[in-house]
Amino acid sequence: MSQILRGAPVAQKILSEVTEYARQHKLRLDIILVGHHEASQIYVSHKLRQAEKVGIKAVLHHLPESTTTQELIGLIHHLNETPEVTGMIVQLPLPAHLSEEKVLDAIAPHKDADALHPANIGLLAQGRAKWAPATPWGIVEMLLHYNLPPARKHVVIVGRGRLVGTPLALLLSRPMAYGNATVTLCHTYTENLYSYTRQADILVVAVGRPHWFSAEGVKAGAVIIDVGIHREGGRLIGDVQPEALSLASAYTPVPGGVGPLTVACLLDNLRRLHQNLSQ
């Protein structure tokens, strides 16, 4: 039987540490949401509720769809200069007319709770990061919690997005206690994809397509991390087909796998931001 890697126990451990820290320090998370993207609104409401539960003040800035890039950057600059703001995030994706690159670059690196500013990605690449993008770090926390360290393993990541694939590849390849893996990063232009994925000891699928990845691409006994989450026919499903999961020695379920860790690690990033400023 495959081991099911549930995120809730790992998330609860992280949130307990954040709660204890928030009892002793005032923390504030500002979330900027532009427009009415349904999934984003659901994610943001969950972040707001969880922040309040652990004692973090959460402030939502919900801007209209018509907001311009300069107006959004103006708000970010204001929050950068507001001492009460510990950290902030801009909920992605943004409406198509906004420049995601300019917006993320405007966030002060020391208030960048998503760790997506170029300066923070640079530190991540050097193995010097004090906080990291939430979902990749949640995957690291899960692997370590279930005694599945990446060191000396071949990790194949399918998807090179800025939120998961690219930062995770950096994390797992660094000469750190949580890294030292051999990492292959696959993407849209990878030919013969399954010839790579069938070599994986740990396979991470983050492509954003429901039940897209099949059993044909899995080595028997691999650990599968399914990052996808999609609503289809009234239920939530991942990127990986159920038949593929049956070949794994361990896998993350959808829902209940990586999802709970994303919010937990985001809030833990706020703790890390505060600690960094206090040093």
Cα–Cα distance for residue pair 56/20, rounded to 1 Å = 11
Q: Which position among 47, 111, 153, 219 bears the catalytic label? A: 47
Cα–Cα distance for residue pair 145/187, rounded to 1 Å = 28
Cα–Cα distance for residue pair 146/149, rounded to 1 Å = 8
Instruction: For residue 3, give the nearest of 236, 231, 224, 229 by alpha carbon.
Output: 224
The alpha-helical segments, DSSP class H, found in the chain are 8-24, 38-53, 69-80, 100-106, 118-125, 134-145, 165-173, 193-197, 242-245, 259-278
Q: What are the distances in angstroms from CA 239 to CA 22, 140, 183? A: 35, 19, 20
Q: Which position among 30, 112, 114, 268 bears the catalytic label? A: 114
Q: Is 111 a catalytic residue?
A: no
Q: Is 30 a catalytic residue?
A: no
Q: Which position among 50, 91, 153, 241 bears the catalytic label? A: 91
Burial 191-214 (b: 16+ CB within 10 A, else e): eebbebbeebbbbbbbbeebbebe
Cα–Cα distance for residue pair 108/211, rounded to 1 Å = 38
Cα–Cα distance for residue pair 60/76, rounded to 1 Å = 13
- DSSP labels, 238-257: -SB-HHHHTT-SEE--TTTS
Q: Is 114 a catalytic residue?
A: yes
Task: Give me the active site residues, please.
Answer: 47, 91, 114
